[in-house]
Chain A
């Protein structure tokens, strides 16, 4: 076997070795950015600030609609979520919009949804309940700006 062939084999082997390792990295990269890559597509379908959004009745000028959901207490304190048109599912289940890390929250705990320009909160049959201020929520209830929605130990507010 000639020297040249062996050298080529040697380099080829190293190349394939790196190819394998790098393709593993590529798989992981797809794994990491998978969910992030899907998100902009959805956000595009529902532009972030609800102002001037398609099917809303023009009636409501004052006060301006909230644009962010902010976690003000609990383990996710400080998290903000921009509000679009789409409903927001809150809970511990991984498919939730905001995945709560809260022992007192249910898998699918509550949902915020925009109806006729007003954000409503409703409980999805959670074990420990959803509270708007001091009151336990069952069916969709409008959230006043600045009102506190409490789920377990997590408190959320709508902000402009």
Chain B
């Protein structure tokens, strides 16, 4: 067993570059296959499309290489792959709908991808330390709540397909809940890192669970109320599930108390049940989730049914890109909400599983980043970001595959939708930043890491004259072990004359020779010189001392 050496740090940047090349190659290949299948010729825009995507990837890779060299090497290729495949699918539907290039959804998506990559670059360059964000815990909460509830403002928000989650400013539309996702994750992480002790330690034990105190329930109930408001007034089950799930998940991770999860799930299910009884639109969603094929439901459940038929016709390996019919009347919203079903039709179960695995890997890397993060805020923040992506994929894919009622969330990176793309690239950028700081080998010059500042030390210690003496003597210089990791044998033989057994004597500090010990290299022999090098702290905590000095 040896002190683990910090071996030559491996950054993984070259592996990242290689994976990105393969990911971009796959996207270009997919683009070519669409062209071959639809027009029987290589698409003319292939080189331009490949060059555009490649340039974006190159910029991001170089920025990461320069500013976050130790960041996780797999996040970027995975996100690039999903984004590229999403673009191809959107383009494929554009072709089928006969849209011109400039008016097409794919072109818009490519513009948004560019914007999102710029945003990610800005985050990687400007956010040098993710802990800066913890200062804005409560501003983030306010901002997040405002964004979340913004679509409810008259004239600004508009109801689209039954859900009021969009805002329209002139010709531009935006889904503010996507950005709210990041802001509220900052708030949850910042809040829970300070509150977790009171949330996890206090409370009575009932059965096997430790129940929280009533007064600690405030934040949970607030989150629940906002969530229900979103569910009822914005008519969006997906967003409310996403935020409440995120909060409960982080609460559980911060406190390790199952009782929070049980309470939260109970509250959510209860609230959702009551909402189902009271509000017809929620009831409708549940009904056509449970009985999509019933004759009287088919008007509203068309989307789900189309998706199921599409995926069924895709089968195990799909119809092939460009050879299915995931568009128009066969599958509506196949560029946005239903893109997963469209991909399922053309890439089959094998393709869908690869895509789901790519999402799972992104989430795993996020959780891993959380585990490796060196500060509590970073841990919760990274975990929360990963959790939000996992929940979003679950809500979307679960809706399409009839695990939960269908709602209008977007599949991260793939579905057409600028706000979602922007938000998810920002999440990737933040995860890259956090993973860089957690994987970066500590530099020797940093000195003792994470020591408490003097002001935060316990008073007992601050008033200890010996401690003050030590501080003065050490003066911040680091005590570096020598290269073999084996200390030079030095003993304080000269002090033996002053010191007897340490636990029988007090007040060494006035003894001569203490602060300027005479070092010699005489090796010790045997294990029977216990105690002569130790000094007694006058106020040392009470210890079982049978063994401390026992000669």
Contacts and interface: CB of A to CB of B under 8 A. Distances in A.
Contacts of A138: 533, 535
B350 interface: yes
Contact of A129 (B23, B351, B470, B536): B470
B448 interface: yes
Contacts of B524: 115-116, 118, 142
A70 interface: no
A106 B365 CA distance: 28
Interface residues of A, number: 86
Contacts of B452: 103-104, 127-128
A37 to B, nearest CB: 11
B313 to A, nearest CB: 14
B357 interface: yes
Interface string A13-56: 11011111101110110010011001100110110100000000
Interface in B429-466: 441-442, 446-452, 457, 461, 466
A21 B4 contact: no
A4 interface: no
B547 interface: yes
A33 to B, nearest CB: 13
A83 B527 contact: no
A28 B367 CA distance: 13
B7 A38 contact: yes
A142 B529 contact: yes
B487 A122 contact: yes
B543 A9 contact: no
A51 to B, nearest CB: 15
B477 interface: yes
A48 B1 contact: yes
Contacts of A82: 1
Interface stretch (B126-134, B183-191, B318-326): B318-326
A78 interface: no
B511 interface: no
Contact of A125 (B365, B374, B478): B478
Nearest to B4: A95
A104 B458 CA distance: 10
A137 interface: yes
B6 A95 contact: yes
B486 A113 contact: yes
Given A27-B19, A115-B523, A126-B448, A88 B530 contact: no
A18 B548 contact: no
B73 A27 contact: yes
Interface in B325-378: 347-348, 350-351, 354, 357-358, 361, 364-365, 374
Contacts, number: 265
B526 A59 contact: yes
B485 interface: yes
B358 to A, nearest CB: 6
A135 B536 contact: yes
Interface in B500-551: 502-503, 517, 523-527, 529-531, 533-537, 540, 543-550
Interface string A90-133: 01111111000001101111010101111010111111110111
B479 A84 contact: no
Contacts of B487: 87, 111, 113, 115, 120, 122, 140
Contact of A13 (B33, B77, B357, B503): B33
B535 A135 contact: yes
A92 B448 CA distance: 9
Contacts of B449: 91-93, 106-108
B490 interface: yes
Given A86-B2, A135-B548, A136-B466, 11 more contacts: A10-B317, A35-B4, A39-B4, A97-B1, A117-B527, A124-B479, A124-B481, A133-B534, A133-B545, A140-B533, A147-B547
Interface of B: 1-7, 10, 12, 15, 19, 22-23, 25-26, 29-30, 33, 36-37, 40, 73-74, 77-78, 81, 317-318, 320-321, 323, 347-348, 350-351, 354, 357-358, 361, 364-365, 374, 441-442, 446-452, 457, 461, 466-467, 470-471, 474, 477-479, 481, 485-487, 489-492, 502-503, 517, 523-527, 529-531, 533-537, 540, 543-550
Interface of A: 1, 6-7, 9-11, 13-14, 16-21, 23-25, 27-28, 31, 34-35, 38-39, 42-43, 45-46, 48, 57, 59-60, 81-84, 86-89, 91-97, 103-104, 106-109, 111, 113, 115-118, 120, 122-129, 131-142, 144-148, 150
22 contacts: A13-B29, A17-B26, A20-B26, A24-B77, A35-B4, A46-B1, A87-B481, A87-B486, A87-B487, A88-B3, A97-B1, A97-B3, A107-B442, A118-B527, A134-B548, A135-B536, A135-B537, A138-B533, A141-B530, A141-B533, A145-B547, A148-B548
